[in-house]
Structure 1
Amino acid sequence: MHRQLQWPLSITCEVLGVSRSGYYRWKGRQRRPGKMQKRHQSITSFLLERAKKMKSVPGYRKLWIEAQDEGYRCGKNQVQRLLQEAGYRSCTALKPGYRRTVSTLPVLPNLLNRRFSVGEPNKVWVSDTTQIRCKEGWLYLVAVMDLGTRQIVGYAQGAVNSSQLVLNALESAWKYSQPVGKELLFHSDSKTTRRQVFLG
Structure 2
Amino acid sequence: MAKNAENEDVRQRLLDAGEELFSEYGFNGTSTRLLTKKAECNLASVNYYFSGKYELYLEVIRKRMKYLRDLRVERISEVIAAKGEKLQLEELLRVFAESFVEPLMQDASGRRFKKMLRWEMLNPKFPVQEFIDGMIKPVMQLVVPVLKKMYPGLPDNKTVLCVVSVVSQLLHTIQMEEIFLEVKGDKFMPFDIQQHIEHIVEFSSAAIKGMSG
TM-score normalised to the size of structure 2? 0.28
The one of the two structures with greater contact order (alpha-carbon pairs below 8 A, sep at least 6) is 2
Which structure is higher in strand share? 1
Q: Larger C-alpha radius of gyration, 1 or 2?
A: 1
Which structure is higher in helix share? 2
